């Protein structure tokens, strides 16, 4: 199938579906200037996630976590949604997309206007105290780290603060299981955008869908099960699909 036929087929499957959902990964935001993890030149080729960005590092060596992983998080908050994010918000507004599961912590789906978003790896809008559990805006953590207060601490009880993100070694949040149940019960079509589909348990979600569309620059372990696989950029493919559905 050539590219035009793939786009048409994808648009047709979305039009015919009753309960289409979307699953996104880091490839969704590379066009917003945020590098992904596993592409050639991706972040995990540069730094070791377990030695810099895991729960174990946060608890045992917070200075490394805050100087490496957290500094990258703080940069991400300045990114803006791209045409792909805006197209997914439009698909929901048009009634085609029932919800969106994202592994991204950048908050760009929310910024683009998507309403039903499960941010299953957390987000960068807040953090909380490991002692009294009090929540703080993410900016409050950034201000302390920029002022060399590392790790940032709670003004009420003085315990360490941590961002609301799911690190390697953390349990998945309850909202992941909410998303899981809804997809297992309803999803007749899953649109996967910009994910290598190798990180579990999120990588189990495509197995719950009756049909799959995969938009990803590189092959994934689910390609052989997909009705359509499009090896192009999300920022090109998704607006083209929206255009066909709006016509």
Q: Is 73 in contact with 124 (CB distance < 8 Å)? A: yes
Among residue numbers 122 through 181, which ones bind ligand APR (CB under 6 A)?
A: none
Coil, helix or strand at residue 112: helix
List the one residue out of 25, 48, 20, 6 whose CA is nearest residue 200.
Answer: 25
Q: Measure the CA–CA gap between 135 and 240, rounded to whole angstroms.
A: 41
Q: Which string of b and e fits 211-243 if b means at least 16 CB within 10 Å? A: bbbbbbeeebebeeebebbbeebbbebbebbbe
Choice from 98, 109, 123, 233 touching ligand APR (CB under 6 A) = 233
Q: Nearest distance from residue 10's CB to ligand APR, in Å?
A: 13
Q: Taking CB under 6 A as the rule, does residue 216 contact ligand APR?
A: yes
- Total binding residues toward ligand APR, as defined by CB under 6 A: 24
Choice from 218, 221, 227, 243 touching ligand APR (CB under 6 A) = 218
Q: Measure the CA–CA gap between 137 and 7, rounded to whole angstroms.
A: 41
Counts of helices then strands in the chain (DSSP H, E): 11, 9
Among residue numbers 75 through 94, which ones bind ligand APR (CB under 6 A)?
A: none
Binding window for ligand APR (CB under 6 A); candidates: 130-138, 155-163, 173-181, 188-196: 188-196
Q: Taking CB under 6 A as the rule, does residue 217 contact ligand APR?
A: yes
Q: Nearest distance from residue 98's CB to ligand APR, in Å?
A: 21
Q: Nearest distance from residue 159's CB to ligand APR, in Å?
A: 25
Helices 83-93, 234-246: inter-axial angle, 10-degree rounding = 30
Q: Taking CB under 6 A as the rule, does residue 30 contact ligand APR?
A: yes
Residues whose CB is less than 8 angstroms from the CB of residue 240 and which lie 6 or more positions away in sequence, other chains included: 7
Q: Taking CB under 6 A as the rule, does residue 25 contact ligand APR?
A: yes
Choice from 122, 127, 151, 194 touching ligand APR (CB under 6 A) = 194
Binding window for ligand APR (CB under 6 A); candidates: 10-18, 69-77, 173-181, 191-199: 191-199
Give the 3-state secondary structure percentages of the chain, helix then strand then coil, rounded to 5.
45, 20, 35
Annotation marks residue 121 as catalytic: yes
- CA separation (Å) from 170 to 58, 84, 121, 203, 232? 11, 29, 10, 16, 33
Among residue numbers 93 through 122, which ones bind ligand APR (CB under 6 A)?
A: 103, 121
User: Using CB under 6 A as the criterion, which residues of the chain lie in contact with ligand APR when the complex forms?
Assistant: 25-27, 30-31, 36-39, 42, 49, 103, 121, 194-196, 199, 215-218, 233-235
Please list the active-site residues. Answer: 121
């Amino acid at each position: 199938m050539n590219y035009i036929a793939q786009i048409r087929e994808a648009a047709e499957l979305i039009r015919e579906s009753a309960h289409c959902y979307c699953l996104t990964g880091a490839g969704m935001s590379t066009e917003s200037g945020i590098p992904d993890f596993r592409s050639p030149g991706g972040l995990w080729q540069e730094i070791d996630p377990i030695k810099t960005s895991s729960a174990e590092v946060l608890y045992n060596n917070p200075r490394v976590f805050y100087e490496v992983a957290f500094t990258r998080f703080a940069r991400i908050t300045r990114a803006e949604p791209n045409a792909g994010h805006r197209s997914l918000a439009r698909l929901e507004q048009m009634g085609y997309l029932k919800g969106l599961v994202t592994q991204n912590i950048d908050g760009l789906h929310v910024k683009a206007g998507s309403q039903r978003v499960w941010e299953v790896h957390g987000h960068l809008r807040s953090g909380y105290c490991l002692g009294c559990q009090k929540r703080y805006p993410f900016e409050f953590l950034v201000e302390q780290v920029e002022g060399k207060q590392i790790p940032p601490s709670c003004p009420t009880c003085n315990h360490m603060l941590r961002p609301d993100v799911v690190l390697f070694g953390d349990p998945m949040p309850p909202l992941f299981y909410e998303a899981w149940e809804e997809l297992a019960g309803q999803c007749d079509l899953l649109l996967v955008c910009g994910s290598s589909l190798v990180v579990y348990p999120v990588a189990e979600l495509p197995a719950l869908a009756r049909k799959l569309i995969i938009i990803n620059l590189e092959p994934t372990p689910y390609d052989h099960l997909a009705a359509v696989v499009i090896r192009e950029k999300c920022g090109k493919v998704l607006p083209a699909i929206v255009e066909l559905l709006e016509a």
